[in-house]
Chain A
Amino acid sequence: MWRTVLGLEWRILRRDKAALGILLLFAGFVVAAALAGGRQADSVREGLKRSQESESMRFQGHLKELKRLEATQEAMTGQDPRDPIWMGQEGAATIAILPPAPLAPVAVGQRDLQPQAVRLTTEDHLSSERESETAMSGPTRLMTGAFDLGFLFVFLFPLVVIALSYELLSGERERGTLAMLLSQPVSQLALVLGKAGARAVALCGVTLVFALLGLLVAGADISGEGAWLHVFLFAAILVAWALFWFAAAVLINSFGGSSARNALQLVGLWLVLVIVIPGLVHVAVDTLYPPPSTIELLHEAREASQEVEGKLRGVEGNHDRDAKAPDPKEQIALKREIARRSESAHEVMEGQIQARQELVDWLRFASPAIIVQLALEDVAGSGATRHQRFDEQVEATHDRFKDFFFGHVEQDQTLRSDALNDIPKLRFEEEPHGALGARLLMGVFVLLLLALGLIVLALPRLRQIGRLTR
């Protein structure tokens, strides 16, 4: 019986020019979005590669020069790779990189707002440059957001589901075919769910095939480590999201309103879930935990260290060629002091960011659209959690980096060629697959639960569709 309904609906769908048109248009958008996402991910990847290449060339140069100097024992000059102060400040600056995830083209997410690479030197972190080889984005582009799969699936995908399902029952009724259908040996439940199911299968099938094709063309790394898990999670989110909207359409159809009314109600629901609630969540987060201002932090640090900096900068900006260089140990002591004094301001800021993130993690359950958006960002490796991990690891590496060079100065050591490999560098450690999978599957589970809830709500009325023929 189910198969008959599915088969019939499939045949109808294939002849329905409007439905086919919508599916094809959406498939076209999917490919375009995958390509646009791929373009962005490529530009990040290339930028990072350039940074890494120039860094490794610099280090090779240092190695050669150090070996030469160790052989000749020349006197120390201004920019000497043996000088731990200069090397820490500039010479051995190292780039900490957040590598793009295998499915990076899926969503730009935080990638265009947060730095993907940070240049580590012995300078206090606040003044460290956020090295970026990635092309800048104009403000309008940042505000509008990217035309990527994330956008397409969160915003447009539900509208496509609505277009395919708003007249599931009402259409049959308005065309006068509902009574005829019900005269067939088909249960009322199977009729509605079969119709919705066939459309769901068609839409999810087309979307997934085109999305995967698009991602492959866009340069997603399907063979990479853990890539299949990401692909599976991506597909699971998409299917659960589609089922949620089909379930909503079934529920609204079960009330027996006109097609126009169904469409209006579904679009209203879409508006609330996709536009209004996420906006309100943003408001709630900003009101409860205002974003920590880095300007405040800058001032805190500047004031806390004004006296210390005064001593340090008194030396800077002195263009007198006869001026004597400051004592390195004193310089290090002052830098350590600045870092120590601005530590508390740093901690306050990190606490605020943490609190905001925790609130967002909870409030994502306020709307399934937020669940889907954050999940897609996570799959693409451009979500807040991954960036936060990166920030934490950068901080830790930065501390080790400073200790390495300051230690050399404090112990009156010069840098030797064999120590170059010991300079602390960041190797980004990804979130364990288990944790990522659990977080995303939790979202999928909630979506499926919501879909089931909607169907259960619709059940009593679905058993009496016959009343609609009157």
Chain B
Amino acid sequence: MIKHVARKEVREIIRDGRMRLLGVIVIILTLAALAFGAQQAVRAQEARNNAMERAEKQWEGQGERNPHSAAHYGTHVFAPTSAVTAIDPGVSPYLGRSVEIKAHQRSLASHSEAQDSGGSKRLGSFSVASVFLLLIPLLIIALGYGLWSRERERGTLRQVLSTGVHPSELFWGKTLALCFVLLILLIPAALIIVGVLWRVGGGDTDTLVRLGLLALGYGIYFAVFAGLTLFASAIASTSRGALVAMVGTWGLFCLVTPRAATEVSGILQPLPSQAELGRQVAQSLKTGLDGKTDKDVFIEAKVADTLDAEGISEDALEYFTDDAEAQRIKTYKDGLMLKFIAEWENVVFDHYINELDDQVAAQESVMDAVAFLSPYVAMRTLSAALSGTDFAHHRHFTQYAETWRQGFVDSLNKAFADKAGAQGWSYRAGPELWKNAPAFAYQPPRPSYGLDVHRLSALALLGWLLLAFVLARWAAGRVKVV
């Protein structure tokens, strides 16, 4: 019986010319968004390769320099891009793509795409994810708002039930029909997405796992809207009532809640201003995190202690003026100083930047909680997380970049201390040393990383699925016949 009901509903939906048109429009939009996304992803990849190549060339072509001078000159590293970005750019356009690497300074990631693109970013986003998150739920509403109510208005519901069909059979038939129509529309789109991403360079297992998880997530998301639509259709007294209620719910979930929630998250967890952060860092660089230690005194004492421990007397310097040996000791001492200064600075930078990152992460976790108020927020968070375009992935990258910066500066300082010898600050290193700088070999986290961070959103989405199913099933049992 379920099969008959489903077949009848599918036929009705497909026969309705408007529904065919809507379906085709949504698919065309999906493909257009995919083409645009793929083009953007390829361009971003090329831009990154180009930028990396140029940065490397600049670094290696900087000529002869004192190694510590070279650390001041520094270089830039660039956030990785991936083929999955073509599906969902997430918050990545609003995050810096490059990090400046240099001595005595931990830079925040800068050069975000949104800042570069001037006025147009605020017009709205257009990606496969935005089509899936916003438009397909509306398509589901358009397909399903009349599944119960229209039958009631036409009087066919009474007839059907009088033949002894159980409402639960009707429910399963209608549910199956809705799912089937969606699948007809989405499976070809999904295949094309996989094919395009394969070509764009995402043929690895990681990408496939990410795509699989995304498909699962979006499947659940669509099912939530399907369930809620069936529920509204069964309990509303008229079709128009069901439609208006569902469009209103959609607006509340997809338009109002996310914006209102980000305002709330900004109030609950305010961020400092860049200037304020800069002042705090500058102050702590002078007087330490405790605000009481004088940097110069501390570093000089540490250098003196180390020299003492190694049996090198300060007096030797006075004694050996102008002597090569004295210069060597002075270089060794300066090398120690550079090392301790860098260590001092790293502690301060790590403290403040971690604090800032924690604050941003706290804002993000407010959104994880809001996922319980809107399935849209839940899926949007998960979609970016699975595409590797959320803040957690960004933080993973910037943390690696900082660890690398510390090692990079340290290796240059060490080169100065070890090799400058009697030449001291007039020592010049060449391309040999630049080429031997530690390699920047960032590895993005595994696909499930995003799920680990946003477990709450995943839970919320499952909760929504359960709620939608229970409501739809419950309403089917109590559907008004006339």
Instruction: Give A residues with C-beta under 8 Å from B.
Output: 29, 32, 36, 39, 47, 50-51, 109-110, 113-114, 130-147, 151, 155-156, 159, 163, 166-167, 258-260, 263-264, 267-268, 271, 275-276, 278-283, 285-287, 290-296, 298-299, 302-303, 306, 309-310, 313-314, 316-320, 323, 353, 356-357, 360, 370, 373-374, 377, 383-384, 387-388
Contacts and interface: CB of A to CB of B under 8 A. Distances in A.
A167 B243 CA distance: 13
Nearest to B121: A113
Given A139-B91, A310-B65, A303 B275 contact: no
Q: What are the 8 tightest A-B residue pairs by CB atom distance, in nearest-first order?
A: A384-B119, A317-B72, A279-B126, A291-B117, A139-B91, A320-B425, A147-B259, A260-B240
B428 to A, nearest CB: 9
B145 A113 contact: no
Contacts of A36: 263
Nearest to B278: A129
A319 B68 contact: yes
Given A140-B391, A142-B91, A293-B111, A279 B275 contact: no
B286 interface: no
6 contacts: A113-B114, A132-B275, A133-B273, A286-B117, A296-B50, A373-B123
B271 A313 contact: no
A295 B62 CA distance: 19
SS class of chain B's interface: helix, strand, loop or mixed?
A: helix
B94 A286 contact: no
Contacts of B94: 139, 142-143
Contacts of A113: 114-115, 121-122
Contact of B135 (A140, A275, A302): A275
Given A278-B123, A314-B69, A294 B111 contact: yes
Contacts of B364: 138, 140
Nearest to B391: A139
B138 interface: yes
A306 B259 contact: no
B258 interface: yes
A138 B142 contact: no
Contact of B97 (A147, A258, A278, A295): A295
Contacts of B360: 138-139
A218 to B, nearest CB: 13
Contact of B62 (A137, A167, A306): A306
B391 A285 contact: no
Contacts of A316: 69, 72
Nearest to B65: A314
Interface string B403-421: 0000000000000000000
Contact of B103 (A143, A317, A388): A317
B54 interface: yes
A221 B43 CA distance: 44
B55 interface: yes
A141 B266 contact: yes
| Residue of B61, B124, B125, B263 most packed against chain A (CB within 10 A) | B124
Given A139-B360, A278-B124, 12 more contacts: A29-B256, A51-B275, A132-B274, A163-B244, A279-B125, A287-B36, A291-B118, A317-B69, A317-B73, A353-B118, A356-B120, A387-B118
Contacts of B424: 320
A159 B275 contact: no
A282 B243 contact: no
Given A156-B255, A306-B58, A138 B120 contact: no
A191 B249 CA distance: 32
A276 B55 CA distance: 39
A298 B76 contact: yes
Given A113-B121, A279-B126, A132 B273 contact: yes
Contact of B51 (A141, A280, A299, A310): A299
A403 B16 CA distance: 72
A140 B54 contact: no
Nearest to A374: B119
A282 B47 contact: no
A295 to B, nearest CB: 5
Contact of A294 (B58, B78, B115, B367): B115
Contacts of B265: 138, 140-141
B322 interface: no
Interface centre among A135, A370, A387 (most CB of B within 10 A): A135
A360 B116 CA distance: 15
B363 A141 contact: yes
Contacts of B103: 317
Contact of A264 (B118, B142, B263): B142
Nearest to B113: A291
Contacts of B334: 319-320
Nearest to B242: A260
B223 interface: no
Contacts of A146: 259, 262-263
B479 to A, nearest CB: 18
A388 B272 CA distance: 26
B69 A313 contact: yes
Interface string B248-272: 1001000110111011011000111
B122 A279 contact: no
B240 A167 contact: yes
B114 A267 contact: no
Contacts of B125: 143, 279, 282
A156 B115 contact: no
Contacts of A131: 274-275
B120 A281 contact: yes
A267 B72 CA distance: 58
Contacts of B36: 283, 286-287
Nearest to A267: B247
B247 to A, nearest CB: 5
Contact of B134 (A163, A275, A293, A318): A275
A179 to B, nearest CB: 20
